[in-house]
Structure 1
Amino acid sequence: MAAINRDPRTAPHATRNDTLLALGSAAHAVVVALVTDPARRPDALGWTLLLAAQLPLVWRRRRPLLALTAVVVLLLPYHSLDYNHTAPTPAAYIALYTVAATCRPLFTVLSSGTALALAVSVMLIVNQKQAVDLLRISGWAIAVIFVGIDVRYYRQYVAAIVERAERAERTREEEARRRVAEERLRIARDLHDLLAHSITLIGVRTSVAAHVLHADPDRLDRAAVAAALDDIAETCRTARGELRTTLEVLRDHGTPDSRGPLPDLHGLDGLAEAARTAGAKVELTVAAADVPPAVGAAAYRIVQEALTNAVRHGGRDDLGIRVGVHAGEGALRVTVTDDGTGGGGGHEGGSPSGGGSGFGLVGMRERARSVGGTLDAGPLPGQGFEVSAVLPLGGTT
């Protein structure tokens, strides 16, 4: 079955196999010529033509039409001299089959019909009785031709099935790679949102503790230092917990979509409180219920990143931030506005204060696009910065 399914032109060891086939055909021709019809046993010229007709079979796969032509050219004088007409039959059938199995059907019918017509014409001139016998057995030649054509169609059918299977496999591999890339991007966004927010808060609270220590060493406010250190410790514990949840996704060998619990709008109070402990005045307004989990998680991460940028780049000690989350008209609208002077990290190539890398704004836009929403961010007239997102409530859950 492997030999039938495979294209003969690409088969391994083709020349060796065809050489053995030619030798076998030659041996058969010699035996038939010696055993049957002694009256028409070939002489020296006949043996030369008979054996020479076997040689084209060696390159029948590479040049099927040329091989058939060579066989016909050698056998026409052989038959015209009325030598044994049965001996060269296998070589002719092999050449006909090769043309039928490798060439287009119409071309095969035309070329094979021409060869048979020439053979019958020669036989009619030489021996009409033999010509009638050739016409009687020409059905075998026609059968060989159509067997070759059927094999050709079968090989094309098998090749099409294999190609579809390979295409389906490539599609599955591409889908798997796409899922892996999406998951890696999601984890990268989560790590960025988590670490940027936590590290910013730790940095602000450390600065507060350092300021208290250096402002008036003789009148050290131990309570303020202790409160700042407690805030730092609490932020570290929260970050460690969220980081552990994120990393568990990487270690999970279950379903591809297995994930930790998504953050939602209920966590906005914690974000606002964390920003307040960093010195900002945060006004939070939430008017939304029954928000899809993916939309709630996107809103949470957008607010988290916007607060982080505002605290980091606000440029004021009395920074004011207004956070609004409102549901209506089929969408969740999120706005984070500050009155700072640092631009809120709104420039993708870096903040005006020189601290931003641009990934925060890119990440917020990706969050919005992941649920089919949009996000705009930019400085306000005069001073301040605003992040505004519209997230459809029919987004991916």
Structure 2
Amino acid sequence: MTDGTETDGTSRLPLTGFRVLELSHIVAGPSGGLLLADLGADVIKVEEPRGGDQSRAMPNRGSTFYALNRNKRSLAVDLKSDAGREIFTRLVRGTDILLDNYAPGVLERLGFGYEWGSGINPGIIYCSIKGFLPGPYGDRPLLDELAQMMGSMAYMTGPAGRPLRAGSSVIDIGAATYGVLAALAALADRQRTGRGQRIQAGLFESTVWFTAQHLAQASLSGESPVPMPERGMGSRLGWGVYQLFKTVDDREVFIAITSNGHWQRFCQEFGLEDLGADPELDSNAKRAANRHRTIPRIEAVAANLTAAELIERMERVQVPYAPLNNPYDLLSDPQLNSGKLLEVQTEAGPAIKTAGSPVASSDFTLSVRHQPPGLGQHSREILLEMGYSEPEIEALAASGSVRLDGPVLLSGDRSS
């Protein structure tokens, strides 16, 4: 365990000294634990000894695991064994936040629910990422994609009659982020009260939060909004020029002209002075009403330039733009490669690039302090910190209550 100080000794991470127990798998829980770990918390990933986090053995070669589990330590312990229960009990007594995304009722059936935890550690904060917040659906399981369907995001994202999920696990990650935010607020509140509390974050409710503007529109109009693709790119927010344009090298660049200044500079740069001087196009409302005149001209401009040429000129005149990237494109993006991507080591091959936490501070720098751990890689270390002797640790391993120093499980490997 490090003290949260960067290797150059210039900054201290804000959650240094706080301990988190992460009982989670795949995306929702691990993404929340990653936020806390990157910010300096000692995140102990409590895993089942025979397989651990399910993402270790997913058919994407473990990439989900590598993306979401840096800066954590792995303790592989059987929570159903008497010895494992004792280890966990001792850990909880010294823990600040317990984070889980188990199915409803699992912690309670294990005997480790919030009432039990707060009984032995009144200051502990339980943060649970669930399908639903308490209510009529509170005990139902849910998954990211199901939440997108149920919370209207898929309806609003796909063309009419063709609901479409978002291209990433935005609900798992979003719910975990909101849960962590509330848990940190509870941590601050504990300074005043001396007591922890139970925090829950819901996948369904997070989806509804993401679609809040559409919900408000439905409430105001008395009918469902039209799905976003049906509105056309420019008309989504009423902008006259707000869409993708194809370039000569078969790339696409999104151009967003949202002010008269943008319009004038764009027209001057690309030889469209006649459009820039036209009084029928001198406001966004007029440009929106005359897309049939402006959009074909802009399409012709883009079609004669490479994406790099168009981007360079858009940058020159400071008009908002964005290339249409795929994930592989991002690996060479200059902004991301200025320190926003982090490298982690895989078990079977070279280091890979992963997304860094999307925050920056004047006082600290986020980095990789721990590589994504092998299953049980830190069991011995953690048990020694807890006061267990080497002979006791070896006996625990021999009984199957803990796993010591195990390798990362690769895709399809469910062996012990």
- TM-based fold match above 0.5: no
Q: With structure 2 as the length reference, what TM-score do the two structures score?
A: 0.18
Task: Report 1 or 2 for greater relative contact order, CA contacts < 8 Å, sequence distance ≥ 6.
Answer: 2
**Structure 1 or 2: more strand by fraction:** 2
Q: With structure 1 as the length reference, what TM-score do the two structures score?
A: 0.19
Larger Rg: 1
